Amino acid sequence: MLLGLNGSPNKNGNTKFLLNKVMEKAQELGADTKVLEIGELMASTKQPFCVACSTPCTGVCFKGTEFEEAVELMKKADGIVFGSPVYFGTVSAQLKALFDKTRKMRTEKAFYNKVGAGITVGASKYGGQETTMKALHDIMFVHGMIIVADGYSEDDCGHHGVCAHRPADKDEFAIKRAEILAKRLVEVCGETTALRK
């Protein structure tokens, strides 16, 4: 299964558009996909921001919530695509809050060897997309994930991931990169299944 995490507060905006492009292409290639709305998941928790109430983390703040259900999906996923708009050169508050609440999953090594990729959208052509992508990569590295970018053997080696400027539905280059990323994700997820058992 391939999960897309929409870290934008806008459920039908530019980030979601590109996540959907990745998921549509992955479905064409035979993958099961699902997109989760991070803002809604964070709102379901007892405390939307991590306050490090226990060490090690017990996950008490999200027990019995939609967030806990999403965590179980993330644990089962072969790959996760993290999507974020650019906010002051980095990830959205919603996505950062989600990552902060994954301390328990890090202790469990729940994301270890999962395939991860990023999508970023900025207000302008050079609007902080790559610094946001770097923040996504740093977080994935801390979880021990296998990070892939938007390259594929039949296309090119790619770059850091899918970076777009809004409106994303008019950014033909980003749309093309989203489809290439989907091919790479499906390929690497398939080839690394044994590492996640």
- Alpha carbons 38 and 136: distance in angstroms, whole number: 15
Percentage of the chain beyond pLDDT 70 is: 100
Q: pTM score, two decimals?
A: 0.94
The 10s digit of each residue's pLDDT in 81-139 is 999 999 999 999 999 999 999 999 999 999 999 999 999 999 998 999 999 999 999 99
Q: What is the model's pLDDT at position 117?
A: 98
The 10s digit of each residue's pLDDT in 15-34 is 999 999 999 999 999 999 99
- In the chain, the N- to C-terminal Cα span, in Å, equals 14
Q: What is the model's pLDDT at position 168?
A: 96
pLDDT averaged over the chain? Answer: 95
State whether residue 79 is helix, strand or coil. Answer: strand
Q: What is the model's pLDDT at position 61?
A: 87
What does the DSSP 8-state code read for residue 90? Answer: B
Q: What tokens were used for 168?
A: 């994303």
- The DSSP element (H or E) to which 174 belongs, if any, is helix 172-191
Kindly list the domain boundaries of the chain, sorted by start residue: 2-44+76-96+111-196
Q: What is the model's pLDDT at position 71?
A: 94
CATH topology (fold) of 2-44+76-96+111-196: Rossmann fold (3.40.50)
Q: What is the model's pLDDT at position 46?
A: 85
